[in-house]
Amino acid sequence: MHKASRITLATEIKFNDPLPKAVDVVIIGGGVIGVFTALNLAEAGKRVLLCEKGRIAAEQSSRNWGWIRQQGRDESELPIAMESVKLWKNIDQTLQGKCGIKNTGVAYLATKPSELADFEQWVETARKHGLHSEMLTPAQIKDGFSGKAADHWVGGVRTPSDCKGEPWQAVPAVAEYVHSFGATLIENCAVRCLELQAGHVTGVVTEMGTVACEQVLLAGGAWSRLFLGAHGVNIPQLSVLATAAQTAPLPDFAKTNCVDEELAIRRRDDGGYTLALADRHVFPIGRDGFASLKHWLPETKRIWNHTAFILAAPKGFPDAWSTPRSWSAHEVTPFEHMRVLEPPVAVDVVERMQSRFTKRFSSFGQPEITDSWSGMIDAMPDYVPIVDAVTQLPGLMLATGMSGHGFGIGPGFGRVIARRLLGLMDEHDLNRFRFSRFTDGSVLQPGPSL
């Protein structure tokens, strides 16, 4: 039986460098965004400290579907997603395949003819950016499943250049490469707060001591809002719980990563498949949900039928009612009390994955589930991240709210962020990702939620 190798608090600490007295840039958060930003900065010769409160990639960066896709991206994200595919392939080649990157393509499948118009519109959007995507007929879909699928779909769309990776091995492998460039990486080291002089960032206070620096990047995923809030800065980011499962080894019948209105599947390197529900997320209710309601209200009607609610976020979670919202630099913080978010898995969700898989691929019978896990997605009300300087705290840059897209697009945004920190010109139009869109009167334009 194969066991999913996601990263947990029980995972051995790999990075335990001595805490430096001063660096050029401190990165808060050891997920895919923080790690790839550190790589670009270290390659540029900057002194970098990356602090991770738990383990590198232990949260959503090792708990996602493992897709590296351009298909279906918000159009403003698409150029960065296209660059990310190339960067993932390059780093995987450099690391001799340790990231598990494979060019499998991604397919969106439809059971209703009405959905095909949206797919055709996507093909036109892709063409504008020089990306090849193609419509699929029912016969092509059946061939893509080696003839093993039921006649379940009326059509689809596929982007052949999309890829997959193995999240729990990919991000730590890149972190080791970053370490080889001389960057300082420390696990089990929470950053408690920023050090400020005259309102400007001059360093950070960690649980191990203080580090002076010129710039800080906050890439804390589901924890970013809590950290910022302690400094008087608010963002409408919420945390949404999503679950995935791993099957026992099955025949290699699926030639591409795919998703329809209900189920997503990805072939794994261990011979099984990663399964996830495409139509169900769980939102644990806490203070942030009420505080952000005005930003989320337009989306509420659309997502209501696909969202299950937990009346209170679990104890210790970023938005739990009992989680402190402020603390001193000398206090143990919520980041230390909850080093790794390990949300519970609902049995009925996993059973639903099994039954949906069996309905589509009945010749295999009901798949054996060898493991399942959940993670917290840092979501913004328009489903695109904030990647911008925090003007209220000069010296702080924010990269959060990846809304479930972070693993695939991490290398591209790591390059974007590093260029900003290095004072170089932007290579992409980043206006869509500006911090001020939530305060300047702009009408939010939601992007794709998948």
- The set of residues, in sequence order, having a beta carbon less than 8 Å from that of 351 and lying 6+ positions away, is none
Start-to-end CA distance of the chain, whole Å, equals: 31
Residue 309: predicted pLDDT: 84
Distance of CA 107 to the CA centre of its chain: 20
DSSP three-state, residue 291: helix
* Contact call for residues 98 and 173 (beta carbons, < 8 A): yes
Whether the model clears a pTM of 0.85, i.e. scores above it, the answer is: yes
Average pLDDT, stretch 99-111? Answer: 97
If pLDDT is split at 50, 70 and 90, which confidence band does 1 have? very low
C-alpha dihedral (109, 112, 113, 115), degrees to nearest 10: -60
Residue 294: predicted pLDDT: 87
Q: Cα separations (Å) of 247 from 135, 350, 351, 354?
A: 29, 11, 12, 9
Q: Find residue 178's DSSP bridge partners.
A: none
Residue whose C-alpha is closest to residue 433's, from 78, 34, 77, 38: 77
* Contact call for residues 94 and 141 (beta carbons, < 8 A): no
Backbone torsion region of residue 337, taken as left when φ is above 0, otherwise alpha when ψ lies between -120 and 50, otherwise beta: alpha
Average pLDDT, stretch 52-58? Answer: 98
Least confident of 5-9, 156-160, 377-381: 5-9
- The set of residues, in sequence order, having a beta carbon less than 8 Å from that of 60 and lying 6+ positions away, is 31, 221, 222, 375, 376, 377, 378, 404, 406, 407
Residues of the chain above pLDDT 90, percent: 87
**Amino acid present at 253:** F
Give the mean pLDDT of the chain: 95
Residue 4: predicted pLDDT: 56
Instruction: Tell the burial category of 442 from Cβ atoms under 10 Å away from its Cβ (0-12, 13-18, 19+).
Output: exposed
DSSP three-state, residue 174: helix
Pure H helices in 250-332:
287-291, 293-303
CA distance 278 to 439: 31
- The set of residues, in sequence order, having a beta carbon less than 8 Å from that of 322 and lying 6+ positions away, is 315
Residue 5: predicted pLDDT: 65
- Higher-pLDDT residue of 280 and 196 is 196
- The fold of the 25-438 domain, in CATH, is FAD/NAD(P)-binding domain (3.50.50)
CA distance 395 to 199: 9
Residue 427: predicted pLDDT: 96
CA distance 375 to 73: 21
* Contact call for residues 93 and 40 (beta carbons, < 8 A): no
Residue 3 scores a pLDDT above 70: no
What digits encode the pLDDT tens for the residues 16-32?
Answer: 999 999 999 999 999 99
Half-sphere exposure (CA, 13 Å, Cβ side) for 199? 7
If pLDDT is split at 50, 70 and 90, which confidence band does 2 have? very low
* Contact call for residues 19 and 186 (beta carbons, < 8 A): yes
Angle between helices 167-180 and 32-43 (to 10 degrees): 20
- Higher-pLDDT residue of 79 and 3 is 79
What digits encode the pLDDT tens for the residues 158-211?
Answer: 999 999 999 999 999 999 999 999 999 999 999 999 999 999 999 999 999 999
CA distance 333 to 155: 51
Residue 136 scores a pLDDT above 60: yes
